[in-house]
Amino acid sequence: MATTADFKNGLCLKHNNDIWKIESFQHVKPGKGPAFVRTKIRNLNTGRVLENTFTSGVKIEIIRIENRSSQFLYKDGDSFHFMDKNTFEQLAIQKELINAPEYLKEGNIAEIIFYTDENRPISCNLPSNVTLKVKSTEPGEKGNTATNALKPAILETGAKVNVPLFINEEDHIKVDTNSGQYLERVKV
């Protein structure tokens, strides 16, 4: 068991029978009354962010998590199959645990976070951006860059993204996996 004095950003703890990660914290010592720690914690199972206040010195249960780099192999229904890059073990992960499953392409690398006490995956995070090929979109217009007009495009993974008018089919683009926004065209 640990106390609030052990808090640091990125620390994982068990709170209300769930697994949480500390995003930020601040020790507060008011002039009157006991000290406390104001925190912003993220639920590793649901991704929900919660602001919580802990009384200073309260006991907390720290848990261990482990990040494993894995390569995406294939999709089978709602299961996504990955291979650990170090041990070559294969693992099936449910769609709900992946932060942006619509941008997963065979061969992509993702970070899978494991709860080490139970050796089970609790989340899977893609890189902040991925490069994908445009499968279909309307033909591009040359010289039409004065406005920030966008058109819909379908990527090789089936995801739909709005892209600038100059993007054509077979172009490779970089997409932000958090927001789903077009970032730039990529030369391959």
Query: 10: helix, coil or strand?
Result: coil
My answer on whether 58 and 86 are in the same domain is no
Under 8 Å between Cβ of 155 and 133: yes
183, burial (CB in 10 Å: exposed 0-12, middle 13-18, buried 19+): middle
pTM of the model: 0.73
* 3-class state of residue 102 by DSSP: helix
Only one residue has tokens 């919660």, namely: 50
Give the residue carrying structure tokens 């299961």: 79
Q: What is the dihedral of CA 117, 124, 72, 180, to 10 degrees?
A: 180
Contact 177, 129 (CB under 8 A): yes
Concatenated DSSP letters of 1-56: -EEGGG--TT-EEEETTEEEEEEEEEEE--SSS--EEEEEEEETTT--EEEEEEET
Q: Do 58 and 69 have their domain in common?
A: no
Q: pLDDT by residue (tens digit) across 124-182?
A: 888 889 999 999 988 866 666 666 788 899 999 899 999 988 888 899 999 998 888 99
pLDDT tens, position by position, 13-67: 988 888 888 989 999 898 888 899 999 998 877 778 899 999 988 898 988 888 8
Look up the CATH number of the domain holding residue 143.
Answer: 2.40.50.140
Count of domains forming the chain: 3
At which of 125, 141, 176 does a domain end? 125
CATH number for the domain harbouring residue 38: 2.30.30.30
∠ CA 122-61-112, rounded to 5°: 20
CA–CA distances in Å: residue 73 to residues 82, 84, 165: 5, 10, 33
Query: By residue range, what is the domain housing residue 34?
Result: 2-62
